[in-house]
Structure 1
């Protein structure tokens, strides 16, 4: 059950540390006003990794090193000008701090998006799943509090105070997804939990399919309108559609183990089951299957109104929405990260940099060195990434 936390208890744990000097700014550049946001994994609740606009051929504007951090996760960006008492755009990131001076191993950090300056940090009592999600002035972090125990925690945005938490008696590895005032989180026992964002009240918590069907739900859900879609990694593997209001399973489809997705866009639902990319209509009708050599888990899929983009680390595939290969991109001896559609370009991490490809034919538009890794998150005026040395970086035209 959700448990409201007390500020006195949090202060004993050393939670709310505001205006800390522990994060060092390497580059003193500054953006102007940053419009737009990327508040959840995949940019939106449908997890399409698609935005309308972003900076072209960006350069590093600022880089901030997080004190005692061995690694940082994928950031999210939220426009908090819509939140009473706040008037800025913020970047939120989870950090793994493992050296002996670090009082708590895991932390949630909030930064000013234009400057990279730290607003606050809070320690986390459990191993978090990156990235967090942001909605209505709250930050939501899912975590593993034990081998077979999960947790969802909500923090308020102004100072990082913990507002409520919800414990789950099952393993949790997916980040949360927020849609229409509800935060959704799947677990490894085959259940999806739907909680009200304001107070963590349980709207429903139900298994996908029947109680007799075993499923492992390791990836985040995708939500469109009144339906959420979820993929199963082991047990009864495949994709399922669930009523977002009641948790009732609407349909299920069998695939190989789901290692990426689901992603939903309009009437197209896409998952990668093993080495096969599968596409379904939102009513469960089979559309097509496309074989992609290699069974590389964990690389997100991007979808726009014309194509689906899938990386195998060594090759990027662009596949039409009718299931035909449009083009491929294969750099020399460089790994390719998750694709992100930015207007009429597909931006991918390649080696230690970012490369933009024309979405129509895969031609290279620009490349910039970043020293970043993992996913890039994009707003109209800025890009943000994790970087080596426990850093978070902002790129753009300044």
Structure 2
């Protein structure tokens, strides 16, 4: 019986595999585009009955709404929080002592604007549908079916709009209702979510045989194309936006492109992968290499600042960054890449103020106080069997005030403050 828990699989789960497509990647020749329905509200009674089921899929079977309700507030608007993919939200505090409130079949990696949570439907439902949810219980507010082929997760929320990519185009939807505002032109081979910054949605496409590999920018207001940039080879990770530029990684090359004009800022050859997601700030751009190193580049011209051991996309704060090194989280100085703190067991997902969330290969999520260098709590996600494959692991951990949302192999977990 196959087991998907190797170190390579674990790092893929934390990196490129934390977003991806739901459903088949083939074209649906019979689809004429999205359909809309009236806003839908879940009315089913809360359920706490989980798997295993009687069939081969042993993942959680309970559907929203969850009970008891969480008390979340705050925002997590994009994949890895912001357009730079830093994974760091300095404005929220997660519980210092947390427990599971519910575990549901509630879709993929979420984004939040405070009032609503957005993600794609879970298994057993229309996985191509975009869902607006109640953050406390995951109850559905409105559903918009999209297309009959792959849809990438997670979406990006920007004010009153939400942007999501399919395998061939971009959709911009209303945040508060079931409505498609615009959809982008075909650009086959989109594998990851967009980045949104300064009123522009940026998408990399072309990870598909015979398709031009391009980075494209669309006006968030009306979907008109601002510019396009030829990437030369596939780019399957998420782009990053910072310092007035878009950073994107193809096989063995990192590109920086002016956000306003689409003109090349720099092109630097690096031993890396087309699945690499860069992280960018006004001071530096970071990416992992195929040699197991984390590379820091100057955002202005791509000059190497430093390199240090590390894998996957780091979590970058104001003065330090957290990166996976041999199954642990190392804390490095942003200035020179040197380790400045004790390591934590597991690889990093996100940080909220002084608390970093990490997970290990056995599906254990842990919260560590970085100032005091101590563990606050842990949450174990179970091993599950789907057909003849056993899997375990945490794909995403999203922190907001009062709650942590966890997407794991078995389902969607809502964690809140420990109750009396």
TM-score, scaled relative to structure 1: 0.71
1:252 paired residue among 208, 222, 228: 228
Residue 119 of structure 1 aligns with which residue? 101
The 1-side partners of 2:100 and 2:174 are apart by: 29
Q: 1:171 to 1:137 in 2, by over 3 A?
A: same
Please give the residue correspondences for 1:1-398 in structure 2 after superposition, counting only pairs within 5 Å: 1-9=36-44, 14-19=63-68, 38-44=76-82, 46-49=83-86, 51=88, 79=92, 113-124=95-106, 128-129=107-108, 131-143=109-121, 150-169=128-147, 170-189=149-168, 191-207=169-185, 214-232=187-205, 233-234=207-208, 235-255=211-231, 256-282=233-259, 283-295=261-273, 297=275, 299-312=276-289, 314-321=292-299, 322-330=301-309, 336-370=311-345, 372-373=346-347, 375-396=348-369, 397=372
Question: What displacement does 1:382 show?
Answer: 1.2
Could you tell me how far apart the structure 2 residues matched to 1:193 and 1:160 are?
22
Residue segments in structure 1 that go unaligned for 5+ positions in a row:
21-33, 54-77, 80-88, 91-112, 209-213
Q: Aligned in 2, Cα 1:188/1:296: closer, same or farther, shift over 3 Å?
A: closer
Tell me if structure 1 keeps the 8 A contact 2:74–2:114.
Answer: no
Q: Which secondary structure does the structure 1 equivalent of 2:343 belong to?
A: strand
Tell me the distance in 2 between the aligned counterparts of 1:142 and 1:380. 28
Q: CA deviation at 1:143?
A: 4.8
Kept in 2, the 8 Å contact 1:143–1:173? The answer is no
Quote the offset at 1:35 in angstroms: 10
Q: Which residue of 2 aligns with 1:109?
A: none
CA–CA distance in structure 1, aligned partners of residues 343 and 201 of structure 2: 37
Q: Residues 185 and 241 from structure 1, CA distance in 2 versus in 1: closer, same or farther, beyond 3 angstroms?
A: same
Aligned 8 A contact 2:86 2:315 in 1:
yes
- CA shift in 2, pair 1:303/1:192, >3 Å: same
Cα RMSD (Å): 2.9
Shift of the 368–243 alpha-carbon distance from structure 1 to 2, 3 Å rule, reads: same
What is the SS of the residue equivalent to 1:18?
A: coil
CA spacing shift, 1:377–1:165, aligned 2, 3 Å: same
For residues 257-305 of structure 1, the C-alpha deviation after alignment (integer angstroms, 9 at most, x for no partner) is 11323111131111002210001111101111111113262x4211122
Partners of 2:46 and 2:67 within 8 A in 1: no
Tell me which protein shows more strand as a share of its residues. 1
Q: Is the 1:259–1:274 Cα contact (8 Å) retained in structure 2?
A: no
Could you tell me how far apart the structure 1 residues matched to 2:180 and 2:312 are? Answer: 36
**Contact 2:151 2:166 (C-alpha < 8 Å) held by counterparts:** yes
**Partner deviation per Cα, 1:343-384 (whole Å, 9 max, x = no partner):** 1222102122211112122111123232x23x4211112112
Q: Which runs of 5+ in 2 are unaligned?
A: 1-35, 48-61, 377-420
